[in-house]
Structure 1
C-alpha cells in the first residue's frame, strides 16, 4: 500500500490565478516508489471565480464552502483527507523541488516526531527570491521551543507555518486550524510543538509569494487590538496543552 500525502490548499478569488504555479510545483515533486500525493483545494466561498484555475487531474479534488477564512477552509478540507500525512500549501505559494520527499523522510525515520518544517525564500513580484537570517539548526525541534522563541521575538516564530507537514492523526486530534481571522496556521504550529517534537530541514522547502493582495499585507492584519487578541489565544492554547501534559506519540 502506498503512503499518501494529502496537500491542503485554501483559496479564494483573488489568489486563484496562482493555482497553476502551485500545481506545477506539485508535479515537480517526483514521488519516490511507495508514496503519492493528493491535492485538496478548498474554496473559501461559493462563487465561480476559482474553478477555472483548478487543474484537470485525478489527483486533485476541488470543493467549495461558505466563507470563513483560510483556517475554516483548511479544516473543512481536513474532513476529506485520506492519507497518513498532511502538507500545507497556500494557493499563492510554490513547493521547492524535493520538499515532500524530505518532509516524509524525516517523519518516517522517527515515529516520535509529529511534524516538520523547512526553510523559506520570499518570492518577490519581479520573480527573484530573497532569504532571511535566523533559521534554527537543522534537525529536531524540542517540545515547547517554538512557543518560547515566538514569545521572546515579538510573536515571530523561528520556523514558518506555511511549510508545515504533519501526521494526519495529530492534526485531527488538535482540531485542525484555529478559528481566527489570521494567525490560524501559527496557532496550529504552536499547538503541534506543545505536544510533539518537530523537525527543521535547512533545504528550501517553499517559495513564499509576496504580492499586494495577500492577507498578511492588509492593514487589518496588523491592527494592534486584534493582533494582541490573536496572539493571546494562540499562546494560551499552546500553554494549556503543555500544562495538561498531553503528548504525541502517546506513551
Structure 2
C-alpha cells in the first residue's frame, strides 16, 4: 500500500485529491474514538479522492496512540502539553496535507457516505469554500433527534449564518463537522482562541468572507454522553458568558463598521 504522505505531496494540481480529517482528543476522554475510526474506514469518497486522519492529542499524559489501528492514513501526534481545543486543532491543521480540512470530534462519527456528501459540493463548485450538513443527535437512552433545517439546501451566501445567529441567538448549523478549503482556513487564521464554541465561532466568522453549501442529508452522528465536555454545567455556563457568545455578534458588527468606513 502506498502511503498517503507521498500521495498527498502531489495533490496541488496533481492526480490525488486529499481531505484531512482533524480530530482533537485526550487520553482520559477518548473511549469512543474507535467508532469514529470504523465510520471513516467505511467511507467511499468521490472517485480519485483519498483521506488522511490527523489525530491530535492534547494533554500532559498522552495515551491515545495505543487505541488506534496501524494504518498509514492515520497521522497521530501529541505535544505532551495542555494547549486547549482551538490550539490542538490548529496544530493538526499545520500538519495537514489535504486541500480540504474536515472537523470531527473524537466522540462523534460519520454516517455512511457522510464525508462524501460534504466533499462533493467543494469539488463541484470552486467558488464555495465550505460545506456543512445535518447531524443526528444520539442520546444516552438511545433516542435520536435531528435539528430542523434553517436554510434550504444549496449555496449559503456570505454573512447569512452570522445574521441568523445575531437575530435568533441560535446557531443554525452543526459547525463541528464543517469541511473547509485548507488555503482559505489558513488565511482566515484557523480556529479562534475562545473558551468554548470554537467551531461555531469559526464558521460564523469564516462564512462572512466566503460562500458555502448546506447539504441536504444527515452526514454524521453527534454522541451525547455523560463525560463529554458540552454536557458539563461548567461548559454550558461558559458558553453563555459575553466573551464567548458575543464573539460572533461583535465580529459581525466590527466587519460591517469597517466596510462602511472603506466605502465612504
Superposition TM-score, scaled by structure 2 size: 0.86
Instruction: Name the CA shift for 1:130/1:233 in 2 (closer, same or farther; >3 Å).
Output: closer
Alignment of 1:114-125 (within 5 A): 114-125=129-140
Question: Partner residue of 1:165?
Answer: 179
Separation in 2, partners of 1:194, 1:200:
15
The structure number with the bigger radius of gyration is 2
Separation in 2, partners of 1:54, 1:71:
22
1:12 aligned to 26, 29, 50, which one?
26
Alignment of 1:16-165 (within 5 A): 16-65=30-79, 66-154=81-169, 156-165=170-179
Alpha-carbon distance, 1:151 to partner: 1.4
Separation in 2, partners of 1:86, 1:106:
14
Separation in 1, partners of 2:101, 2:132:
12
Separation in 2, partners of 1:57, 1:196:
35
Instruction: Name the CA shift for 1:64/1:242 in 2 (closer, same or farther; >3 Å).
Output: farther
Does the residue aligned with 1:196 lie in a helix, a strand or coil?
A: coil
Alpha-carbon distance, 1:159 to partner: 1.1
Does the residue aligned with 1:79 lie in a helix, a strand or coil?
A: helix
Q: Structure 1, residues 79-122: CA drift from partner, whole Å, max 9, x if none?
A: 10111000001000001111222222101111111100001100
Does the residue aligned with 2:106 lie in a helix, a strand or coil?
A: coil
1:123, 1:207 within 8 Å by CA — same for their partners in 2?
Answer: yes
Separation in 1, partners of 2:238, 2:103:
27
Separation in 2, partners of 1:116, 1:81:
18
Q: Structure 1, residues 149-174: CA drift from partner, whole Å, max 9, x if none?
A: 111222x2111111200100111011
**RMSD over equivalenced CA pairs, Å:** 1.8
Superposition TM-score, scaled by structure 1 size: 0.91
1:115, 1:198 within 8 Å by CA — same for their partners in 2?
Answer: yes
Shift >6 Å, 4+ stretches? none
1:195, 1:242 within 8 Å by CA — same for their partners in 2?
Answer: no
Does the residue aligned with 1:170 lie in a helix, a strand or coil?
A: helix
Alpha-carbon distance, 1:144 to partner: 0.7
Does the residue aligned with 1:63 lie in a helix, a strand or coil?
A: strand
Structure 2 residues not aligned, in runs of 5+ = 1-14, 260-264
Separation in 2, partners of 1:50, 1:127:
26
